Amino acid sequence: MAGFVALPASEHYWLRGGRAPAALLAEPVPGLAVDDEGLALVDIEVAGPTIARIARAGTAAVGEEAVWLDGGQVWPCFVDLHTHLDKGHIWQRAPNPDGTFAAAVRAVAADRAARWSTDDVFGRMEFGLRCSYAHGTRAVRTHLDSHADQVVVSWPVMRALRLAWAGRVELQAVSLVPLEAFEGRAGERLADAVADAGGVLGGVALMSGAIDGELDRVVALAAERRLDLDFHADESGDSGARALAHIARAILRRGFTGRAVCGHCCSLAVQSPEVVDETLDLVKEAGIAVVTLPMCNLYLQDRATGRTPRWRGVTLIHEMKARAIPVAVASDNCRDPFHGFGDHDMFEVFREATRIAHLDRPYGEWPRAVAATPADVMGLGTVGRLGAGLPADLVLFRGRYWSELLSRPQSDRVVVRGGRPLDAALPDHRELDDLMTPNS
């Protein structure tokens, strides 16, 4: 679909009369009126690849080159903190037979063993990046299944794609393995491979008698190599799952000073207030950020054939926000056995998160959860916010107010990269047909 506005050919122009979420402004704008939905009418001056100035609407002089946004919202490009590009888009050859988490694990393991060659992983990961880019995402972190046989395939693919996409989509990668994979020499080799690739150290933290020893080991391997940490934690409705608290204690015990983020943390929502308080105190003290994956959680959690789901699966993000724990929202799996849908569209993720987790009334700081907050976790301080001197990497929407914005898919949005309109179409799913021959 064509964009709802056309940008001028000139390198220097104003975006007039846009409506920006105030939470996404990098610094206060003099004289700006913010309405009771947290939105402010602004004029944005673009000079070459950069935002030259953000001012209250009506500042741009008549006669200057300008685009009239008529109140449509202006966002910075999105940041997708938690994805699995290596699993993406295998649904047609490896569907999830019953939609459960256990079946997803089995289906992916079988597909990985049979099919994840360099060409296969490259083709599907690049497809995901092309979707992200076209929808307006600036940076993506992906977890990569890093079992011994796979690490030598998927990490070189990631490095090639990171290089090819630099400047379009910044790509970061995290190792995804059971924590016992970090034991012994094999664990050191994996940590070395992650460090050599400029990655982030991570794994799935599962409750067991060995969890504290395993976490001590992972945190030490990361600290020795100055790597950040990114764990999958408590992706279940099991009230006994408290890996998040164990991770926080390990970080405090070891005095780890890098960045750390935990994904999912679903089980917090089914634990007692005392347990929740204890865990969130630890998370705050340890400086851990949390990334919630509402679409994937809604898909997998509380699923049993023939039974209607009773809970939403998301973690306690309002309680985290109240404690000033950084919370990001991300897309997670796309069209694979862990989530049968998805298009790497962070606008869809924000829209669905708003409905699933009640990010509305008030919207407040929540727009940051798909922009500035994940950018900070990724160490990208100029990304995910609107401000003078920052890159003019923007998404322009026709929707003016929240109810307009979030009621339609905004398929006529205009993505602006480096001050110019992005000319990138969504790839057709048919492009993947050659990779989708059925598993035998």
Residues identified as active-site: 235
Which residues have a Cβ under 8 Å from the Cβ of 214 and sit 6 or more positions away? 179, 180, 182, 183, 205, 208
Cα–Cα distance for residue pair 384/379, rounded to 1 Å:
11
Cα–Cα distance for residue pair 258/339, rounded to 1 Å:
31
Cα–Cα distance for residue pair 378/79, rounded to 1 Å:
9
CA 134 to chain centre: 15
**Please, how many CA atoms are within 13 Å of residue 350, restricted to the half-sphere of its CB?**
28
Which residues have a Cβ under 8 Å from the Cβ of 304 and sit 6 or more positions away? 100
Rg (alpha carbons) of the chain, rounded to whole number: 22
Ramachandran sector of residue 49 (left: φ over 0; alpha: ψ -120 to 50; beta: rest): alpha
Give me the amino acid identity at 398.
Answer: R
Cα–Cα distance for residue pair 141/345, rounded to 1 Å:
14
Cα–Cα distance for residue pair 120/106, rounded to 1 Å:
19
Cβ count within 10 A of residue 154: 25
Cα–Cα distance for residue pair 344/85, rounded to 1 Å:
10
From 8, 76, 145, 111, select the one nearest 384 (Cα to Cα). Answer: 76
From 167, 153, 82, 168, select the one nearest 114 (Cα to Cα). Answer: 153
Residue 342 and residue 331 in contact, taking contact as beta carbons nearer than 8 Å = yes
How does DSSP assign 119-136, residue by residue? Answer: HHHHHHHHHHHHHHHHHT
From 74, 57, 28, select the one nearest 414 (Cα to Cα). Answer: 74
- Phi and psi at 291, nearest 5°, equal -115, 125
